Amino acid sequence: MSQTAYRTHHATEVDESLVGQQVTLAGWVDRRRDHGGVAFVDLRDASGLVQVVINDEEVARPLRSEFVIRVTGKVRLRPEGNENERLATGRIEVVAEHVEILAKSQALPFQVSTALENESENTLPGEDVRLKYRYLDLRRPSMQRNLKLRSDVSRAARRALDEMNFTEVETPTFIKSTPEGARDFVVPARLVPGSWYALPQSPQLLKQLLMVSGVERYYQLARCYRDEDFRADRQPEFTQLDMEMAYVDQEDVIAMAEQVIAAIWKAAGHEVQLPLPRISWTDAMNKYGSDKPDLRFGNELVDLTEYFAHTPFRVFQAEYVGAVVYSGAADLPRRQFDAWQDWARQRGAKGLAYVQFAEDGTLKGPVAKNLSDEEREGLMQATGAKPGDAVFFAAGAKESSQLLLGAVRVEIADRQGLLHPDEFAFTWVVDFPLFKRTDDPDDDDVAVGHSKWTSMHHPFTMPSADWIDRFDQDPEHAMSDSYDIVCNGQEMGGGSVRIHRDDIQDRVLNVLGIDAQEAEDKFGFLLEAFKYGAPPHAGIALGWDRTVSLLAGAESIRDVIAFPKAGGGRDPLTGAPAPISDEQRAETGVDYDPEEDE
């Protein structure tokens, strides 16, 4: 409903059907232009812009950008030749009869005018400034569109889940600390000195309890909290669309999630063809060097380990040798290949070996002279390269080498302009390992136990059927019933079949080095619940910030969050985190010493 105490219409509701009628509008002064005693003011509200004509110079003179005004006037067609086809209201204007200033604005720290959206002068300040004045940043049309998109797709997801008979249930924010692979944020319990709540990293155990409770189909747009080291697309607090189902297997969950994804994308104006493709974790690593492969383009990795099995080149005498082709790059200047070395070193690699195939097929580059004649002769065919291409190599431990080549593959595609944000390439990644090593220097997840193995997903993930009887005998190769949904090289969500049998759960915890007493202390309430009849259950969660950022074509998840945090979890807007007073600290009980009560 548009009509309120301050307006009769929103800006973009004023059209040719209202010509000759009086309207009252309210919003911000987007821009003011003076033309010989007549002022033209672009009035902006949540719907968009409309041009207001003010014939009284004295009325127009006080108006400045971002003043909040109310205008009453008559609608008329713009003079012929003055139409603005870029605006929804570009064929009409409102001739002001009364202008009231509702609120003034100080000089702006940066411009938010809609008129600057498509103009070169629209240069935004650094992110810290944008976040400090986030209420101004959010006035920009692109940010308004992002918030509206987030609202629209949330509504679409709820509608789709409602049609599949899901029940929305809220779970608590203050819980007990449980092992989920990251550090907890903890909150002191004033009424129980020396004790702490934890903010949930996810509703994992709670949604499993809902399955035991008989809520067979649950969902929630859940707030989650993880105290992780800062990365560009991480936030200490985030949202996930959490979904869990009883009496289902992996296929049931995937089918359900695809319906939700199709509904979400449709709400944003895109059609998704179902069913979505799948790839095993092993194939994803072997072909794309990533467990979240970007399939908007090809250019698969080439395994050359056997090809170089007897190489004289010491660098290639390794567990794994792989390559990726950079088409048309043979003629790049040496300085660009040197820059690739710096790029690789920034990712923890020693460098990036390469060769160039000249148009006549001649092999060039620093690696070429170290190869045997036979290796040089067959290398173009082995790598799938063509004359005029370059080829990058990685050699060493298999997984780290594949990850490096996977990053090279995406960087090449980016430089070739192949990463189109309005194209969406989905895939399910399935058949994940059940465990991973805790001594991986590139993995900053917190181990959930005390052995050399930790969970790839979480300790409540069901081993795959082929491994039920032997996963604890060979943890290195054990596989799980878990799955990720990937879009454009981003992990959009993940889930698994959950363990509902206490004998299997005990064996998993034993591999992780969690004894019975620790299990009882950390999540005994779940193990106790499983003694009273736990149905088979499985689920998935979609990272909501990332999902919306994919749909919005945003460079960062921060652009689809109303009030995000900056680096290190700082909030430039409110100044959080901030010290508390001595009185507050005393009240929290954080310094409680039980020995003083004895």
Please give the full DSSP string across 146-160, using - where no structure is assigned. HHHHHHHHHHHHHHH
Res 477: pLDDT: 93
- Phi-psi map region of 488: left, alpha, beta (phi>0 left; psi -120 to 50 alpha): left
Inter-residue contact 451 to 511 (CB < 8 Å): yes
The C-alpha atoms of residue 303 and residue 321 are separated, in whole angstroms, by 6
Residues 203, 206, 207, 209, Cα dihedral to 10°: 170
- Kindly report the pTM of this predicted structure: 0.92
Burial class (CB in 10 A: 0-12, 13-18, 19+), 590: middle
User: Would you state the torsion angle of the CA atoms of residues 554, 559, 560, 563, taken in this order, to the nearest 10 degrees?
Assistant: 170
Report the DSSP pairing between strands 490-497 and 482-487.
antiparallel
Burial label, 32 (beta-carbon count in 10 A; 0-12, 13-18, 19+): middle
H-helix or E-strand spanning residue 49: strand 48-54
Q: Cβ distance 395 to 316 under 8 Å?
A: yes
Q: What is the DSSP code (8-state) at residue 569? A: G
Residue 335: partners with Cβ closer than 8 Å, 6 or more residues away: none
Q: What is the pLDDT of residue 445?
A: 64
Q: What's the burial of 496, exposed, middle or buried (CB within 10 Å: 0-12/13-18/19+)?
A: buried
Residues 6+ apart with CB under 8 A from 75: 14, 18, 19, 20, 21, 22, 23, 92, 93, 94
The pLDDT, as a whole number, for residue 224 is 96
Provide the CB-side half-sphere exposure for 273 (13 A, CA).
4
Q: Using the Cα atoms of residue 345, residue 348, residue 349 and residue 352 in order, give the sign of their dihedral.
A: negative
- Return the structure tokens found at 301: 């990795």
In tens digits, the chain (598 residues) has pLDDT values of 679 999 999 999 999 999 999 999 999 999 999 988 899 999 999 999 999 999 999 999 999 999 999 999 999 999 999 999 989 999 999 999 999 999 999 999 998 887 655 444 457 888 999 999 999 999 998 999 999 999 999 999 999 999 999 999 999 999 998 877 789 999 999 999 889 999 999 999 999 999 999 999 999 999 999 998 877 788 999 999 999 999 999 999 999 999 999 999 999 999 999 999 999 999 999 999 999 999 999 999 999 999 999 999 999 999 999 999 999 999 999 999 999 999 999 998 998 999 999 998 899 999 999 999 999 999 999 999 999 999 999 999 999 999 999 999 999 999 999 999 999 999 999 999 999 988 876 666 667 778 889 888 888 999 999 999 999 999 999 999 999 999 999 999 999 999 999 899 999 999 999 988 988 888 889 999 999 999 999 999 999 999 999 999 998 999 999 999 998 899 999 999 999 999 999 888 888 877 776 5
Give the model's pLDDT for residue 519: 87
For residue 450, give the nearest of 517, 518, 514, 519 by alpha carbon.
514
Instruction: Name residues whose C-beta falls within 8 Å of residue 214's C-beta, 6 or more positions apart in sequence.
Output: none
Structure tokens at 555: 């460079």
Q: Specify the pairing of strand 92-103 against strand 186-188.
A: unpaired
For 289-317, the DSSP string reads SSSS---SS----EE-TTTTTT-S-GGG-
For 41, the token pair is 């003011």
Closest listed residue to residue 550, CA positions, set 356, 419, 358: 419
Contacting residues for 298 by C-beta, under 8 A, at least 6 apart: none
CA 521 to chain centre: 33
Query: What would the two tokens of residue 169 be?
Result: 């249930």
